[in-house]
Amino acid sequence: MFVRKQYHGLAKNKGGLTVAADVWRSIDGTASGRLSYASFNLARSPQFRATLVNPMTNPHAAKMDAMYRRQRYIYDLSRKYFLFGRDRLLARLPVRPAARVLEIGCGTARNLVILAGRHPQAQFYGIDISNEMLRSARANIRRRRVENVTVALAAAEAPDHHRLFGLEVPFDVAFFSYSLSMIPDWQAALATALASVRPGGCLAVVDFWDQKELPMWFEKILTAWVRRFDVTPRPEILDVLAARRDRGEGKLTVESVGGRYAFIALFETAVPGAAGAVS
């Protein structure tokens, strides 16, 4: 006889590898487990080990866990007052039936749950470096009873579709929602995200811009405020995407949110040999 016991933190397989898991435990204490967020079979590879996040050795992971240990309970309620453009981004994503969509820095899974309800035939995936945030993400997924959302503990620089989720093909869509401005090595995260999207797919970003159409005092107050949450606005994200567009790697469209308070960028990756892929 087995009774289900949720381990919202980390569980170990026989080799001592740490992964996020649901475990079914028998009355005598022996475990018969199935992984909901990563596969033990996939996790045996040395490459996969590099994608896992250990707060004891990863300073950024430890910082995010410390920040969100309590904030996660009010995160969705509080962030709606200054993370503008998120819902507009979700409406812009080119999600087709059977699409594979990844959110990098998924947090509480707020965006993924919304998308899953709108697109029940698509599959949604999320990664986050904070196990504390993933506790809330899993709770939200269960509460909303969505079956097409899977989350995993991983750094933004390592969104590998096969090692994390067992997918044989890259993602159709990947997106960052106010997460690039919190990632120390944001350029590596952006490059890896682009590499994880199939040719003809889409990478999308919503994040703080330069507030140039707003009063100067507003930009100073906003920057000081968001730094309290380890956020660094990075308008240069658009420069990096524009440079890739100019090299013929894809098509870039940019939309302003609230007087350049934030931007929404959609980067459609080029299909090799396709005419008119770049504009």
75-105 per-position pLDDT tens digit = 555 455 557 788 999 999 999 999 999 999 9
Q: Is residue 279 part of a domain?
A: no
Most confidently modeled of 1-5, 67-71, 211-215? 211-215
145 and 104 fall within a common domain: yes
66 and 41 fall within a common domain: no
Q: Is residue 159 part of a domain?
A: yes
Confidence label for 41 from pLDDT (cuts 50, 70 and 90):
very low
Q: Is residue 50 part of a domain?
A: no
Of residues 71 and 27, which shows the higher confidence score? 71
The CATH number linked to 114 is 3.40.50.150
Q: Is residue 214 part of a domain?
A: yes
Confidence label for 61 from pLDDT (cuts 50, 70 and 90):
low
25 and 124 fall within a common domain: no
Inter-CA distances, 57 with 38, 50, 52, Å:
21, 12, 11
258-271: per-residue pLDDT in tens? 889 899 999 999 99
Q: Is residue 275 part of a domain?
A: no
The reported pLDDT for the residue numbered 197 is 95
Which range of residues forms the domain containing residue 30?
2-45
36 and 136 fall within a common domain: no
> Is residue 55 within 8 Å of residue 65, measured between CB atoms?
yes
Q: For the residues 177-206, what does the mean pLDDT come to? A: 93
138 and 258 fall within a common domain: yes
Q: For the residues 146-157, what does the mean pLDDT come to? A: 90
229 and 254 fall within a common domain: yes
Q: Is residue 54 part of a domain?
A: no
185 and 246 fall within a common domain: yes
Is pLDDT of 39 > 50? no
Least confident of 177-191, 209-223, 232-246: 209-223
Is pLDDT of 190 > 60? yes
18 and 80 fall within a common domain: no
The reported pLDDT for the residue numbered 267 is 98
Tell which residue, 101, 105, 85, 76, has the closest CA to residue 181. Answer: 105
The reported pLDDT for the residue numbered 264 is 96
* Mean pLDDT over each residue of the chain, to the nearest integer: 75
> What's the domain count of the chain?
2
234 and 259 fall within a common domain: yes
**Residue 20, both tokens:** 């996020």
174 and 256 fall within a common domain: yes
Q: Is residue 221 part of a domain?
A: yes
Whose tokens are 């200054």? That residue is: 82
Sign of CA dihedral 46, 106, 121, 191: negative
91 and 12 fall within a common domain: no
The reported pLDDT for the residue numbered 46 is 39
256 and 158 fall within a common domain: yes
Residues with Cβ within 8 Å of residue 64, at least 6 apart in sequence: 129, 130, 132, 133, 182, 230
